[in-house]
Chain A
């Protein structure tokens, strides 16, 4: 039995356009703290303020430029007859396996940014307690719909 080898052969990456979406999202998220950051400039010594701004700028560049491709490279999913396996994370890595008979219902959602790049998020809901919603973002919309149909096709059991 070689689950490892078996698993590896089936994995796929999400759509490369996802990186652009994540970059935009990261940029928007990083833009929010700039307002308080500029505001505190009047209250603290200028030298200290410059250091903070520079540190924040470096962090923001890393988040916007480096993190999305790294996350993209770490994100893999595999679909087989039994269900779906999703592997993700750069420092804290996890691989979650969800048998399709456990899928209670599914959502395919798209935000405005995602729609611009034709990307969608597939959300799978289980009857579990701690991991009731399992998300896979970065799929193309068509792929997300196809995956949803594939995972639901064999459903029908109450899943508990």
Chain B
């Protein structure tokens, strides 16, 4: 069916010779990216080794890299073949790669400060195969990127007319600076910086110095004041860390997600964001595998939600051309109102447009009891040693706190966790402090698994695990626990059966595009 054109592609494109070249300064970017890989060992050598012949080593490393980058740029060609994008590449071993236009799902661009000064962009072409991008083009001038994008999405035909409006599309969402500040407040990304700083300090041994400094200040006082001083310093530190985390998260959000714009064009969505490094992402709608909405306590305080999507090809082991893991969140909206979120979900997953109504189902009746017992046992286990150490024979007092909290958790979790199966999709809501909603179209489900542990079996319950492409992150792993055994089995069979029923029209639609 769809296999046959691929065979034909090879035949018809065989005599097609790509002629387009990279931007003349491409070697510079290849060099920068190569040096970036060496930067950590180089810094390590400079800091710890303190070698005098640093410049010598620099020349030894850099010169071959420049030559290789220039040679590679000289050989690189790309072109728009009759059926697919053709890329000729290779340092010693020539490689001609052909990527069918129909299989290209996504064109990402990324522009750092240097890229923006020189008006160029790094382009990643991804197909639905997953794993690595099919092609990493480093770098192209901006008009060439625009041509690439248009030609690919118009199946290689020369554009009939220059349509400047097609570039812009309908703006679905533009996140203002105020909203981004809210997002910064909600997000905990600043914690990463703190963790990194902590790591560096402890590695270099400065941690001990800081400890000594504090110790010297504190213990100079009389013994009676030490306790209070410790407490005050501890509290002050906590507040300071909290404020710094917030501030860093705020700055991080403002810089990386600056001017976040989600637009819609004929076949898909385009996302653009970033102040220093400008990221552009073009995605075809069939590539959207699932949509996840997250709502933390802070989100609720502002009356906002976050919306992200899983794209096919974003597996767990995804890496860019250099082999560095790409852990970028695929935001549809880093922050938006619940109403906007509902609209965006419908746009990202068009099959929901004429879906049946959502009827939420609860977990099995025994779920609350199991959650409660699990929470009590787990926290007792974790707190056993510290509480016996600190409280001695009064250790069981810990249960005064643990039992009500576990009860609260069990009750609230069960109240907020529910699932629904509509004609087109599986919906799953979970959590109570951080609430998540996942929408997985039935036609995107890869495998369905129904599993039962010995504990499940005792209560006649089961877990349903739904696997989709691109669901690498923990947040997008859909696992519905504490279902009644019979319900889980029926749900699994129903999802398994409907996989084919829905995919046939989808395949035809994809062919018609």
Contacts and interface: CB of A to CB of B under 8 A. Distances in A.
A130 B465 CA distance: 10
B452 A92 contact: yes
Interface residues of A, number: 33
A127 B471 CA distance: 10
Nearest to A85: B496
A94 interface: yes
Contacts of B448: 96-97
Interface in A53-107: 82-83, 85, 89, 91-99, 101-102
A32 B283 CA distance: 51
Given A92-B451, A129-B316, A130-B467, A97 B496 contact: yes
A128 B478 CA distance: 12
Interface in A114-149: 126-132, 134
Given A102-B499, A129-B315, A160-B128, A3 B452 contact: no
Given A97-B496, A99-B500, A130-B477, A92 B2 contact: no
A160 B289 CA distance: 8
A92 B462 CA distance: 11
Contacts of A160: 128, 130, 286-287, 289, 312-313, 444, 469
Secondary structure call for the B interface: mixed
A66 B391 CA distance: 47
Contacts of B499: 82-83, 99, 101-102
B72 interface: no
Contacts of B486: 4
Interface residues of B, number: 48
Contact of A127 (B446, B452, B497, B510): B446
B496 A83 contact: yes
B59 interface: no
Given A3-B489, A82-B500, A97-B492, A131 B449 contact: yes
Contacts of B497: 3, 82
A158 interface: yes
Contacts of B468: 128-129
Contact of A99 (B457, B471, B496): B496
B167 interface: no
Contacts of B177: none
Nearest to A96: B449
A93 to B, nearest CB: 5
From B310, B457, B468, residue with most partner A Cβ within 10 Å: B468
Contacts of B454: 91-92
A85 B1 CA distance: 25
9 contacts: A4-B489, A4-B493, A92-B451, A97-B492, A101-B499, A127-B312, A129-B315, A130-B477, A160-B287
Interface of A: 1, 3-4, 6-7, 82-83, 85, 89, 91-99, 101-102, 126-132, 134, 156-160
Given A82-B497, A159-B446, 13 more contacts: A83-B496, A94-B452, A95-B449, A97-B492, A98-B446, A99-B500, A128-B471, A129-B310, A129-B467, A129-B471, A158-B510, A160-B289, A160-B313
